[in-house]
A and B are shown apart, each in its own frame.
Chain A
Amino acid sequence: MDALSSLIDGFGVLGDPMNIMYMFIGITLGVLIGVLPGLGGANGVAILLPLTFSMSPTSAIIMLSCIYWGALFGGAITSILFNIPGEPWSVATTFDGYPMAQQGRAGEALTGAFTSSFFGALIAVVILTFLAPLVADFALEFGPAELFAVQLLTFCSFVGMGKEPPFKIIASMMFGFALAAVGQDPTTGQLRMTFGWYELLRGFDFLIAVIGLFGIGEILLTMEEGLAFKGKTAKINPRIVLQTWAKLPKYWVTALRGSIVGCWMGITPGGATPASFMSYGLAKRMSKRGPNFGKGELEGVVAPETAAHAAGTSALLPMLTLGIPGSPTAAVLLGGLLIWGLQPGPLLFIEQPEFVWGLIASMYIGNVAGLIVVLTTVPLFAAILRIPFSIIAPVIVVICAVGAYTVNNALLDMSFMLVFGVIGYVFKKMNYPLAPLVLALVLGDMAESNFRNAMILSDGSLSIFWSNGLVGSICGLALVMLLWPVFSAGLRRLRGTTSQLPAQ
């Protein structure tokens, strides 16, 4: 086992107590960054990058990647407590995490989210340790057509006919696509729907929409009930962790599926946010508890969190072996590597084994450390819900506003956040679903530019989407997912008739 002995050497690098210290500093900072919306993993790492110049590259990357793990863990906290996704990839965590918190099960949801994150990361690191070269070649197979197929699959596995009126689902989704198109067209560089207003150059950022729609929208909804904020006396009980752990093993299928989806999306690279949506959609479709999703089902927290963390972790693999960042944060880490004089690419594993295996070993220990740090804070965070609403509501609004500003350093984004807040409030009351809007906003731009690049390659012929086995099967899978409700209904009917047969 070549990888195993290298890994053991890697753990040797971590023997240095300074590195262990950097690791805990990194995790703690990362959780903080993850909690604050807007100040995402990518910004956080970029901001702290210059500080690491005086360290050795190994120590520096350990600290920075631990900030990243911390941010991955931390994103779930505000999603669950306040319906505000701290990070884009924790949007899907709000769907069930926030209802759980409203039912007084915040501790359970937080523990479930953290443990799932850890599980997803662990699977991804194991894959990274033993299959790195193989997986790197797989990533090279993905050109524009394949990437578009992946995005189509994400969409198809998430979007189904929900309980909302179909016209409203379509309107909401299309509104998301329209918002995604605002700004510069990535293929031709033309400005779209800016109407001569230069503030719209940057388009509508996903995070600003989400902070407004979910965070501010939720505060307005809560206010309807007046200030009788159900002082959700979440049990502040350290035993909640153990009680939740006892429940988690039965969701192993969802956790494993989420991890695999996450690893795949991290490597291709499709990104952690689509991965979390895809995993949530698949779980909703395939689990027998699916119909309860959205009402506070622990499995609905497990699914997106495993996928997001697995994707976030495996995104480092194409960064190390190919120099392609699998996520915005990986892009910043990549810049860090170049600055420290390390050249990511096929030779990095051979030329810098100490660095690479030290990093991989730190992924194991960093995630364990992360889990310990966040689990000890569960009671603390659950206790935040006891603060009276008239204090916590304005503080949340301020934090949301700061978050909206830091995304692009633009004042106007705060106003957009407010507008999205009102939209979120009205949409929720009028039974327009928000999830399709958000998914369309995050995928719209990428999917369109991949589609158009594929068209340029094929001279405008759609046949490129079934031109080889890989792209064909992903597209096929996407169609299956889209029609899944029809299939499963058919299956149920078939099963229904067979079970009735003996009775006849």
Chain B
Amino acid sequence: MQDQENTKDGLVSNRSVDIVVALILAGIGVLVIVDSLRLGAGWAEDGPQSGYFPFYIGLAIILASFGTIAVTLFGRNRTRGIFVERGQLLHVLKVLIPTVIFVALVGFIGIYVASAFFIGGSMRWLGKFRWRIVVAVSVAVPFALFLLFEIWFLVPLPKGPLEDFLGY
């Protein structure tokens, strides 16, 4: 889908994102309805069944989504403009991708080591800090968290091989 107003560095138009988001929401609505019907979406003797409210919620999501699509395509105040420019998207991805990697790593190496890499990496890559500061901050923050959660508040957070090795 190409929008006429697409400028040269615009990646996606607001209109197409609007439609995609509405379709995803409508899809969720369908899922909700399917599961509600499984549970029973009627009004039993003693009031609504488990699926009663979810059924209408799902229906409302679908209707509202198609409403949005209709307005987007045919409405007087049609959605215009660009959702995100290439440069902006790159900036966003610079944070989003490391965050995804960070969350994925937590399960394997524990949250403390993962956050040291994540904070250090971000500082070096995005902030271009000197290595000395990078190392200082990326060690200090997880260590402070460790003291706070594991030692003082006795809240176990996900740990990995390093903590195992150190006997925690």
Contacts and interface: CB of A to CB of B under 8 A. Distances in A.
Chains A and B in contact, CB within 8 Å: yes
Contact of B54 (A165, A193, A393, A459): A193
A473 to B, nearest CB: 23
A422 B96 contact: yes
Given A401-B102, A401-B111, A188 B50 contact: yes
Nearest to A44: B153
Interface string B110-148: 010001001101110011010000000100011001001
Nearest to B14: A430
Interface string B97-119: 01110110011000100010011
Contact of B68 (A165, A415, A452): A165
Contact of A192 (B35, B100, B115): B35
A39 to B, nearest CB: 7
Contacts of B43: 460
A198 interface: no
B60 A174 contact: yes
A292 to B, nearest CB: 24
Contact of B95 (A167, A177, A223, A414): A223
A397 B102 contact: yes
Contacts of B7: none
A395 B141 contact: yes
Contacts of B83: 429-430
B161 interface: no
Given A181-B53, A391-B123, A418 B103 contact: yes
B153 A455 contact: no
A455 B46 contact: yes
A190 interface: yes
B145 A398 contact: yes
A496 B79 CA distance: 35
Given A174-B60, A425-B92, A39 B153 contact: yes
Please report whether the interface of chain B is mostly helix, strand, loop or mixed according to DSSP.
helix
Contact of A456 (B31, B46, B127): B46
Interface residues on B, range: 35 or more
A295 interface: no
A195 B121 CA distance: 38
Contacts of A401: 102-103, 106, 111, 115
Which of A192, A427, A456, A459 has most chain B Cβ within 10 Å? A192
Contacts of A425: 92
A414 B96 contact: no
Contact of A181 (B57, B148, B149, B154): B57
Contacts of A451: 47-48
Contacts of A426: 17, 21
A401 B141 CA distance: 14
B32 A47 contact: no
A391 B14 contact: no
A389 B21 CA distance: 30
Contact of B158 (A170, A181, A193, A405): A405
B39 interface: yes
Interface in A428-442: 429-430, 432
Interface in B66-104: 67-68, 71, 83-84, 87-88, 91-92, 94-96, 98-100, 102-103
Interface in A147-169: 165-168
Contact of A430 (B21, B45, B58): B21
B111 A405 contact: yes
A365 interface: no
B65 A171 contact: yes
B61 A171 contact: yes
B48 A452 contact: yes
Interface in A451-480: 451-452, 454-456, 459-460
B44 interface: yes
A414 B106 contact: yes
B25 interface: yes
B157 interface: yes
Given A168-B68, A425-B92, A398 B58 contact: no
Interface of B: 14, 17-18, 21-22, 25, 28-29, 31-32, 35-36, 39, 43-51, 53-54, 57-58, 60-61, 64-65, 67-68, 71, 83-84, 87-88, 91-92, 94-96, 98-100, 102-103, 106-107, 111, 115, 118-119, 121-123, 126-127, 129, 137, 141-142, 145, 148-149, 153-158
* 5 A-B pairs closest in CB distance: A455-B47, A390-B127, A167-B67, A171-B64, A394-B122
Given A429-B84, A451-B48, 9 more contacts: A47-B155, A165-B71, A192-B39, A220-B95, A390-B129, A398-B115, A398-B145, A414-B103, A432-B21
30 contacts: A43-B155, A165-B68, A167-B71, A171-B65, A175-B28, A177-B53, A178-B54, A185-B50, A192-B54, A193-B35, A220-B95, A223-B94, A227-B91, A390-B126, A390-B127, A393-B126, A397-B95, A397-B102, A398-B111, A398-B115, A398-B119, A401-B102, A401-B106, A402-B157, A418-B99, A422-B96, A426-B21, A430-B18, A455-B46, A456-B46
